[in-house]
Amino acid sequence: MSVLINDIEVVKTETSKINDIDFDNLKFGQVYSDHMLVCDYENGAWKAPKVMPYQNISLEPSAKIFHYGQSVFEGMKAYKDADGGVWLFRPMENFNRLNISSKRLAIPEIPEAYFLDGLKTLLEVDQDWIPQKEGSSLYIRPFVFASGTGLHASPANAYKFIICTAPSGSYFSGKVKVLIETKYSRSANGGVGYAKAGGNYAGQFYPTQLAIDKGYQQVIWTDDTSHEYIEEAGAMNVFIRINDTLITSPTSDRILDGITRKSLIDLARSKGINVEVRKIKVSELVEAAENGSLKELFGAGTAAVISPIAGFGYQGKDYELPELKETYASSLKKAITDIQTNKAEDPFGWRYKVL
């Protein structure tokens, strides 16, 4: 049956899968809720979005996504508080970054109302899929790709914007060991590193697998020319604590402007933590590990929020981080997740009420 919600057409599924899902044992991003939002770009304009049952997509083999990789995405979460209220965290940051990424890949930008009202409608329809268990959330994946056909190396003339959602538990458990990469690069000056382009992640898989084969779980990326400077940790921004100072690299053509990253910077400063946004050399990290001033190393991103790093490898030598009773990572993670789940005051105005 087709209905209108927030002026958006909604076609509801005839049979929900929700009763077949074990919400107490959710793996990240492997179970999908009943509906998705779909919006098509044709003849020079975005058509009205529509919420429909989650389903397969049919594309021609000549669709340009398969040949030239025009694809960008975002990662968000919806949270349900103890009273059943539904919240998003800084959704306009995701909307703006999706369009920044789209522009870089010559993809038409999405209208704000289609993104925000479409997402709100989808969450209203699938609100029962938002878990309330501690550490769980509804992961939201907005993405845009070239559906137009043709083998000529040029931008497509048709695109699809889709939002699908997945009830998920924690992304990571425990600390990880990383290898500092000195050969392969995630991105380069003038490239697309600052965009959430699918190809950025595809290019990480091979070097990461090489690190896994050596006994590490992830890599820390360094700059593309000298490999002297630390940039990102896997698919996350990276933070380094030396003594009582928290350091993170500045954003650039090569480094994603992470929403969790910028939120953690503001949160840390509000707690009186000294934060430095500057370039940091691998040699400075190694020296701090050797003299005992390196206290913490962690990645930050939407999926994991904060992922502590237990140790790192560099040029054939491993360095272990100390086991601390109280860490910036745990304090900041609790602070940000308490805001996200409506357990604490939000002095920054980050929380966005949906229902």
CATH number for the domain that contains residue 151:
3.30.470.10
- My answer on whether 142 and 112 are in the same domain is yes
pLDDT band at 292 (very low <50, low <70, confident <90, very high): very high
Last residue of a domain, one of 168, 189, 216: 168
Residue 264 covered by a domain: yes
**% residues pLDDT > 70 (the chain):** 99
pTM: 0.96
Q: Which of 204, 302, 222 is nearest to 257 (CA)?
A: 302
- Give the confidence band of 29 by pLDDT, cuts at 50, 70, 90: confident
Q: Is 235 helix (H, G, I), strand (E, B) or coil?
A: coil
Residue 314, domain CATH? 3.20.10.10
Q: At residue 5, does pLDDT exceed 90?
A: no
The last residue of one of the domains, among 168, 201, 223, is 168
**Confidence band of 27 (pLDDT split at 50, 70, 90):** confident
The domain in which residue 208 lies consists of 176-340
pLDDT tens per residue, range 256-265:
999 999 999 9
Same domain assignment for residues 135 and 180: no
- Cα 304 to Cα 35: distance, rounded to the nearest angstrom: 24
pLDDT exceeds 90 at position 89? yes
pLDDT at residue 288 is higher than 90: yes
pLDDT confidence of residue 172: 63
Give the span between the Cα atoms of 208 and 197, in whole angstroms: 18
Same domain, 43 and 180: no
Mean pLDDT for the stretch of residues 118-129: 97
Same domain, 273 and 186: yes
pLDDT in tens, 154-193: 999 999 999 999 999 877 666 799 999 999 999 999 999 9
Q: How far apart are CA 114 and CA 83, in angstroms?
A: 28
How long a stretch of residues is the chain?
Answer: 355
Domain count, the chain: 2
Helices (H) and strands (E) in the chain, counts: 7, 20
pLDDT at 135 over 90: no
Indicate if the pLDDT at residue 4 is higher than 90: no
Say how far apart CA 81 and CA 258 lie, in whole Å.
Answer: 24
Q: What is the mean pLDDT of the chain?
A: 95
- Let me know whether 298 and 193 are in one domain: yes
Is residue 296 one of the residues assigned to a domain? yes
The alpha carbon dihedral of 206, 207, 208, 213 has a sign of positive
Boundary (domain end) residue, out of 142, 168, 194: 168
Calpha distance 200→69 (Å, rounded): 10
One domain for residues 158 and 280: no
DSSP assignment, residue 26? P
At 134 the pLDDT is 87
